[in-house]
Structure 1
């Protein structure tokens, strides 16, 4: 029933509201003048100079007519001025509201480039426009990340799945046999898929505050030694030097498995982006501010515009790299859960990269 009824716009409501105020004020004024004006006029005249009753009645009637004319004239002028001023005042408000409605409509249809111009005179509309623009920017960035994440996730899944499918088809056609080397390849691809699923689960758990830490007194020296020891063969195979410098035994209250995962992620990234004959150094220090781990490489470096995004999941500063793009995301989640900080810095392409971790002691 009401769906087809034309709704009154905000601008019309404001104009009608102003008119109602003016009419109310003039109505009250007219009532006061009509009720109290003649008696006051009669009393004033009688006090100044007594007049015959018929003369006084005619004077009072004339006074009443003059008042009526003046009130009607005042009502007409006030009405016209109110309409004109209301239209002028509400026009920018109506335009601003219409622009906001249009922007919200574009956002609702998936156009996240919609932006509002700030209002030059109304601070409240400026604040609202700024908030909407900020929201649109956040949604636009989130949507871009989501699309990139889906594309990267599809890429990460496609390679092992294609390998598994290819080998299974070859076995089915009799080209390959299900011998130990073939099964090892298939098992390795399954491990990659399992690791990817585990990483995604770890990210979700971290973002939802469900990341479990088995905290206990932990030697960072041991954590670093275990991580570097496991990766030493890979470093040697690529002819990249890996060195560790620890000036003293440093202990923290942490989860050794998770912390080793972080160091392994950093060292794996460093190896991936450091060419042969390069160097990767791990330095462990401690002071009153906490324990500090620094991983420095002489690799390809990171362009400045990529640095703010390196911790975003599935973000890769180097699109041709073979990483999943979630190692640093997990690392930050783990360090944050330890009440620590992790930063990535680089002087630019070809200048290497430095990762700094600080943990409370």
Structure 2
């Protein structure tokens, strides 16, 4: 028993010294290829066994003949271990290079294509993560391109919508200044109308900038949808009468919601104004509000004749105005973008779909907790 313990201690001492030396070598080459590290690990295992054997022989527990036999066996094991480590290292490094080359593709705005050859579980998991990252980057690039297109369209349309009334205001001001206006009162009334429209446009731009900057602050309070819809219908009634459109507020349930009343009134107002302006005379704009499976659904249905299916995904984009002329009363294309921003700030969502004779805009709000 005592001899066995001494043999174990001598073998451990020799192997530990080799292990410490191997750890030092691994630290020195930690930035080198994986093949070198695997070769060092294989060599440490074999040399640890040899060092332990030599320590036991030095303690005179092995005869010279037995030491020769053990050393020969260890040498053969070293050759096989190093060859295996080198082959494994070269294979892993080759798979890593293939993965790195594939990763460069989506870094250059391309699509990531995972290497087709076999790989270790870790490299395979990394490949899946890179594929998922590539897909998210592609979606982000697509959103960025769509956002940039919207910004360019918005700048073009706003420039057009500002230039026309400003030119008219300057002409009317010059006419008043020169005293050549046949009806100064009519000119002053028209100037006020144009100024109010420009002020509304600037207000929409300011609201949209707050939404995009994430600085839109909400003052939430619990109120009934019945009251919210009633106030919105009352506010839109004069415009509906002017256009000869009927406003219908049927199927409005008195469901309680937790919202910012001022901002949600703006949402309904924008939806109603949009629907009234695009519904022909003698048409109907209907508002409904009811409890749904995912929350409270407020909808505005119009008689615009429908929206082309390819345009439906862009309806709520900033500056989008479809095929309408870029002149009043089409507006600057900000109303529906503001609607989406305010609704999303309430943790809700917007949607639009075609119905017979028109389209239906839906706003889904979460139920109060």
Aligned pairs for 1:1-361 (under 5 A) are 13-37=33-57, 39-42=60-63, 60=64, 62-104=65-107, 106=108, 111=109, 114-118=110-114, 121=119, 122-163=123-164, 166-167=167-168, 180=184, 188-206=193-211, 208=214, 210-213=216-219, 215=221, 217=223, 219-236=227-244, 241-246=245-250, 250=254, 252=256, 255-275=260-280, 278-283=283-288, 293-318=298-323, 322-337=330-345, 342-347=350-355, 351-357=357-363
Residue 227 (structure 1) shift: 2.9
Aligned equivalents of 2:282, 2:334: Cα separation in 1: 27
Kept after mapping to 2: 8 A contact 1:170/1:176: no
Displacement of 1:30 after TM fit? 1.6
**Structure 2: distance between partners of 1:155 and 1:346:** 28
Contact 2:237–2:247 (8 Å) recurs in 1: no
Structure 1 residues 63, 317: closer, same or farther in 2, change over 3 A?
farther
Q: Distance in 2 between matches of 1:127 and 1:262?
A: 42
Superposed displacement of residue 353, structure 1: 0.7
- Cα 1:319–1:129 change in 2 (3 A) is farther
Q: Which moved more, 1:286-295 or 1:20-29?
A: 286-295
CA shift for structure 1 position 116:
0.8
Deviation at residue 16 of structure 1 after TM alignment: 1.6
Secondary structure at the residue paired with 1:267?
A: helix
- Runs of 4+ that moved beyond 6 A: 171-176, 286-291
Determine the C-alpha separation between the residues in 2 that align with 1:357 and 1:292.
6
Q: Which string of whole-angstrom CA distances, capped at 9 and with x for unpartnered residues, describes residues 182-238 of structure 1? A: 5655555554443333223323434525334474756235313323313124422xx
What is the CA deviation profile of residues 93-149 of structure 1, one whole-angstrom value per residue up to 9, with x for unaligned ones? 222123224532x2xxxx4xx221245654422332233223312321232133122
Contact 2:289–2:299 (CA<8 Å) still a contact in 1? yes
Task: List alignment gaps of at least 5 residues for structure 1.
Answer: 1-8, 43-59
Coordinate RMSD, CA, aligned: 4.0
Work out the number of aligned pairs and report it: 322
Quick one: structure 1 residues 93 and 308, their matched pair in 2 at CA, closer, same or farther if it must change by over 3 Å? same
TM-score between both structures, scaled by the size of structure 2: 0.69
- Asked whether the 8 Å contact 1:265–1:331 carries over to 2, the reply is yes
For the residues of structure 1 that align with 2:290 and 2:92, how far apart are their CA atoms? 66
Q: State the Cα distance separating 1:15 from its structure 2 match.
A: 1.2
